Amino acid sequence: MVNYEILAHEEVAADAKYIVLAGKIAAVPGQFLQVRISETNDPLLRRPLSVHDCHENSFSLLYRIAGRGTAMLAQKKTGDNLNILGPLGKGFPHTTLPTALLVAGGIGVAPLFYLARCLAEKGKKVVFLFGARQAEALYRRRELAEIVSELHLATDNGSTGLHGPVTELLESFWEYQVKFEIYACGPALMLQEISRLAAGHDRDVHVSLETQLACGVGACLGCVVADRTQPGKYFRVCSEGPVFNSKVVF
């Protein structure tokens, strides 16, 4: 639980903001932070936000204004402090393969951005498939383009890139000659579809899930998803995830 000063807080779209905080955190890609929104009891719970990027003396978050809590967060100003618990959870697993395919849907880009940077810095080839409803929701795609090897875009309304779901972009890659690791984050339905497609090609995907959290540290058992391999067993998204192998959760 540490207070971090807000160095910058910018709109990246009408419904999303990017926030830079002063300080060092030891986070691996895929981990998240529990952000306190208010010092009062309403909203009561912290809000989980992924580590979006990390630098020497600062780190950043990217969030969509989804409801009351994030709307209140959007009001915070440069110089204000943000009380944060974390980094929490298990991040994306390492890969020994030279190529990684990252698939983001909308705000799902949040944790994948940091993953992309880390993989690129390790010399991996990063192919990034990024889909959203419309061009505006392809958050921070310009900054992303500078990091990744390939960036393929798709929008539901065709305003940018492929006119269709991001999963269509995937198709050509199944025939790819080289082996590659797949990481995905986005709406539950998108993750489910990717997992289904991947399973068809006997591949698994590292998916980052979102559920309602309370404690964020594994103590309350509130955030669970079913373990598909063991009936009656559950995983805690906050502490055993938020990243899971698609085969065990879908």
Ligand X SMILES: Cc1cc2nc3c(=O)[nH]c(=O)nc-3n(C[C@H](O)[C@H](O)[C@H](O)COP(=O)(O)OP(=O)(O)OC[C@H]3O[C@@H](n4cnc5c(N)ncnc54)[C@H](O)[C@@H]3O)c2cc1C
Ligand Y SMILES: Cc1cc2nc3c(=O)[nH]c(=O)nc-3n(C[C@H](O)[C@H](O)[C@H](O)COP(=O)(O)O)c2cc1C
Q: Which residues bind ligand X (CB under 6 A)?
A: 32, 43, 47-50, 62-64, 66-70, 107, 110, 210-213, 242
**CB–CB of 238/88 below 8 Å?**
yes
User: Is-cis flag, bond preceding 43, omega within 30?
Assistant: yes
Range 24-43, binding ligand Y (CB under 6 A) = none
Min. distance of Cβ 110 from ligand FES in angstroms? 18
**Of 1, 14, 26, 40, the one binding a second copy by CB under 8 A:** 40
Residue 201: CB atoms within 10 Å: 11
Choosing among a second copy, ligand FES, ligand Y, none, which partner's interface includes residue 40 (Cβ < 5 to 8 Å by kind)?
a second copy
Can you give the binding site for other proteins, defined by CB under 8 A?
Answer: 1, 36, 41-46, 85, 211-226, 232-234, 239
For the beta sheet containing 47-50, the strands, ordered from the edge strand earlier in sequence to the opposite edge, are: 47-50, 32-35, 81-88, 2-13, 16-22, 58-64, 53-54
- The reply to whether 121 sits near a second copy by the rule CB under 8 A is no
Closest to a second copy by CB, 62 vs 73, is: 73
- The reply to whether 212 sits near a second copy by the rule CB under 8 A is no
Choosing among ligand X, ligand FES, other proteins, none, which partner's interface includes residue 23 (Cβ < 5 to 8 Å by kind)?
none
Query: Could you tell me which stretch among 36-44, 129-137, 159-167, 175-183 binds a second copy (CB under 8 A)?
Result: 36-44
Angle at 67 between CA 65 and CA 154, to 5 degrees: 45
**Of 23, 43, 165, 222, the one binding ligand FES by CB under 6 A:** 222
Phi, psi of 52 (to 5 degrees): -90, -30
Question: Three-state DSSP class for 216?
Answer: coil
**144-148 long-range contacts, Cβ below 8 Å, gap at least 24?**
144/109, 144/113, 144/116, 147/113, 147/116, 147/117, 147/120, 148/102, 148/116, 148/120
Residue 2: CB atoms within 10 Å: 13
Min. distance of Cβ 225 from ligand Y in angstroms? 16
- The reply to whether 72 sits near a second copy by the rule CB under 8 A is yes
d(CA 209, CA 207): 6
Tell me which residues touch ligand Y (CB under 6 A): 220, 222
Tell me which residues touch ligand FES (CB under 6 A): 213-216, 218-223, 236-239
